[in-house]
Structure 1
Amino acid sequence: MPRTKKKNGRGGQHGNVQPFSDEDVSIETLSHCSSFSDTASVADEGGEASEDTAQEDFQYKLKGFIDSTVDKSAKTRQGALDGLKTAMATRILYEFISERRMTITDSIERCLKKGKGEEQRAAASLACLLCIQLGSGIESEEVLKTLKPIFKYILADGSASIQARQAVATSLGLCTLVAEDDILDVHATMECFENLFTRAYARMDGTCPSISPQTSQLYTNALLSWALLLTICTASQLKDILRKYLPKLPKLLESEDVNMRIAAGETIALLFELARDMDTDFEFDDWDELCNKLNALATDCNKHRAKTDKRKQRSVFRDVLKAVEEGDFQSETIRFGTERMTIDSWVKKRTYDAFREFVGSGMNYHLQANEFIRDVFELGPPVLVDSATMKAMKISRFERHLHNSAAFKARTKARSKFRDKRVDVGEF
């Protein structure tokens, strides 16, 4: 997305600093380049001077993190990567990051090549957040061009840290969605994921290969990234994928890993949705057998499975079964600020879940302020919220709190009456 770049004249040398605390993150949730900050709160803190000072302190800390990503201490590098991740997940930092994009990319590359498990995991996640901040365009394309060969090497290297491979399997998928401009390269990346999750297929006799929980998580991450990239495939690519993979994906429903079963079910539902978008009369040869499998998982009562796993699985597979049988989707409304967005398709759900994986609790803020994410979900330009509107929102929340408190007291009083042993049973 086109953006107007502004030079930032501040600079200086910085020593090692520690990662953000929760207090640091809450100091200023919104970026200086966004129009979402509450002017009332700025006034309370002393106006523009106070805001500028807080911004300078924040940028100073960020510069310190960037410097510390090349520190000799692995612990310091890890802390710096985590600090940058937290900042990018909770703020819009386009201008600051754009000016330092190459430096940050070099640091990520160095940590991926020379670091160990957790450091590599943090670097892979930071790469994804960097692309989310930069949005779709030449800047994120250059980031991906630099890091993609390293990502693919780690992903295919059986001797590499399993934590690093798991992180790369997730990050490469979303980085490709954001930054890849060649659909053939998208397909090549999908093949890397296919080489992993197909190893989890059940055998012809119905038995499953012996896979460790960590390796199963790697295969699950690869499948979810593969499913994410399905959402941007061409019609001709989708036809080939449907022919080749839809008959085989049900084999993953036999997995001992509940997360793999769920990922497989949601991917099957996504494929059916995409197939019916291309052809409303789409038919699947093994439809009856697939529906029987999905129904069994939606009503699973196997005693050897944990209750929480069964409850989670049954909920998901009821929705998957409806998707396959009826083409139905259970809609969900996401509220953020004064706006709302409806997740009304498997395509939208997979995309939303992928972004939320990285920005976490900052997702609602990014939906408000991140132009790229708003473009992905067709939300239009960011909505400017003035202080009067924010004040009205706060008043309504306070009134709702009073109402809820009153209702709670009423319920408590009524229940106490029923519980009181002194009350004559004949009164009721």
Structure 2
Amino acid sequence: MTRIERLTPTDLINLYVESPTSPARVGALVLLDARIELPALRRRVADRVSSVARLRQVISRPRWPGGRPIWVDAPNFDVDRHVRECALPSGERLTDLAVRLTNQPFPHGQPLWRMWLVNGLPGEGAALVFAMHHVVADGLTTIRMFTALADDHPVLPSPRPQPMPTWPALVRDNIASRIAALRTLRRPRIETWRQMAGLRHAPRTSLNGPVGARRRLDVVTLDLRRAKTAAHEHGGKVNDIVLALAAGGLRALLRSRTERTDDVRLHATVAVSLPETGAAGEGNRTGGYAMRVPLEPDVRRRLHQIARESADAKRRQAPTAGNGLLIALSRLGVLRWFSRRQRMINFVESNVAGPPMPMRILGATIRDVIPIGTVVGNMTIGFLALSYAGKLIIAVQADADRHPDLPVLLAAMCREADQLAIRAAPEEVRLRVSRSRV
């Protein structure tokens, strides 16, 4: 019997929220300490991708009443179409190339992912840019999929190809799933919605506005062990460190624009991973909670305040409450309209735990993994943190045209990281890779 794999309501959020200038993407920029060859990389991907169903599948939309879109095996899947090589243009930063590649449209009718090998970097290193549509995976799942390419990762058996489900089978499955959904309806958590209602009026700042097409990606790198120690000393967790530095950077940015920061508490959506319900390591399993982020001038007091705020928000809110609102808006067909006009949230933040030990791909050691995310709607800046091999990498992704003064934010984040003594040693930071113009 053919297994029917439908897009989840959370998947559909990521499908419907994007626009031509703000594609929903997740990915990573991976820095290697040695060059690798394209044919060898394609063979490695071909060997490993067969065990990850989503990388071989496309979206099919059944006619009514066949239900939500489904995942089906792509006809004539060819790894060579997805794994390519490119050069770093003269004068372009590697991070800028990565976000430009990540936001390129995916060819119609093919699985929604791409990988680029970037050789010819200064020194002996290389880079990989891995990009997927957000409907395929969230940040954690993206890292899991990528680690399947590591030298020491086991080669898993390939599942049998699945034929396209018949239309009667889709109709029966749709009816059964709707009946099951009605049976599992639960009363909403009143306290959760009450908490979210209190956040519906975010401070009016220049952080919110129409998101354009150009992106900028910059990185602040911390020592993970020292970040954990600093967080615990202030009653918080590593994610509170990320939020505290983000708030300090945003405070400096807004002050440089002569915007009010005293007694201002920005509103943030903090992403969290949900328990797995489907195939292990596949799909979107992201929820989140909304919280107020103080712009207290002193970083230590701010960190302590944020630790209290985040603990309170997690205690009061279900991590799926925000998803429920977005799912309802997507079903009404107004999600994109809402995302461009919402006044609840100023910025987004996420933190993904990556591999604790260094990995190797085709003999090359992975030095750094920089997460790449989505900037959509009217939230023009986001903070994505990823821990890898003893480092905590905070990627700041922003609308390049709305934030030409982003270095002000980055300088403040680095300055406050130094005050907390959690910044990675200079020799550990190798992320500013670019080629000079000739």
Decide which structure has the larger Cα Rg and report it.
1
Higher-strand-fraction structure: 2
TM above 0.5, yes or no, is no
Q: Which has the higher contact order (CA 8 A, sep 6+)?
A: 2
Q: TM-score, normalised by structure 2?
A: 0.23
Q: TM-score, normalised by structure 1?
A: 0.23
